[in-house]
Amino acid sequence: MTERVPLERKVLNENARIAEELREKFQKRGILCLNIISSPGSGKTTLLERTLASLPKGDRVAVLTGDIQTDNDAARLRRFGFPVKQITTGGTCHLDARMIQKHLEDWDLDNLDLLLIENVGNLVCPSSYDLGEDAKIVVLSVTEGEDKPLKYPSIFFKSDLLILSKVDLLPYVPFNIDEAAENARKIHPEIEVLRLSCQSSEGFQEWMDWLNKRRTEAKSRIAQAVV
Ligand SMILES: Nc1nc2c(ncn2[C@@H]2O[C@H](COP(=O)(O)OP(=O)(O)O)[C@@H](O)[C@H]2O)c(=O)[nH]1
Ligand SMILES: [Mg+2]
């Protein structure tokens, strides 16, 4: 244990350095970068599919999607005509900044306004790794239990937005959605909360409004920097 702590710190310091370089590149160009995190199966890829389907053709959007094995998610997301890359971590339970840097090498960032990152399905490890994003988004589906913000506080503390997903299932599962939101606010009082179903489309417009607001803010930051 005494050996492990300094090594972990070194890895995280190195990650923070690369993440800061990435953040600078994104901010200089007004790119909004979002890091989407949840347990496996909470609906990250489905949300990205719906999002890409609703964006205009030629929109300056790209997706990086992380997984331990397989490129299934990238195959699902490529159908919409935007640049998509799979990052297969080969066992690692999170994405790190170096993986993002490497996978962005042959993309011209000047052609991008929005970079969506789907992290590896895991509520714990991804919360420790800054990817240079503007914001982390945590997705919690209604089948996972309203206590999860209390059990996995770090990711709820670090996320700007909580998406409570699969709300179409609420009639069938004992899940107190107000309590889930309340638990998240105990950990992070300013966290924004959205209720979403990709099945019924409830909350989808609110999600797109949130996304568009953040895109506009990212752009206006470079305008201010230029003035
Ligand atoms: N009922 C319901 N099922 C959903 C919803 N969103 C996703 N799913 C299902 O949940 C499963 C996992 O979704 P996926 O997007 O692959 O989750 P990921 O592992 O977080 O990327 C799939 O069978 C989806 O069809 C939703 O809003 N409502
Ligand atoms: Mg997925």
**Ligand positioned closest to the Cα atom of 65:** 2
Closest ligand 1 atom number to CA of residue 46: 15
CA of 145 to the centre of ligand 2 (A): 20
**Ligand positioned closest to the Cα atom of 75:** 2
Nearest CA to ligand 1 atom 14: 43
CA of 131 to the centre of ligand 1 (A): 24
Residue list, ligand 1 pocket, CB within 6 Å? 38, 40-46, 121, 165-166, 168-169, 197-199
**Helix spans in the chain (H):** 4-29, 44-54, 72-78, 97-104, 148-151, 153-158, 177-187, 204-226
Q: How far is the C-alpha of 43 from the C-alpha of 38, rounded, in Å?
A: 8
Average pLDDT per consecutive 10 residues, the chain (227 residues; last block may be shorter): 70 93 96 98 98 97 95 95 96 96 97 98 96 98 98 98 98 98 98 98 98 96 71
User: Quick one: pLDDT at residue 6?
Assistant: 79
Q: How far is the C-alpha of 17 from the C-alpha of 4, rounded, in Å?
A: 20
Count the Cβ atoms, other than its own, within 10 Å of residue 210.
18
**Ligand positioned closest to the Cα atom of 202:** 1
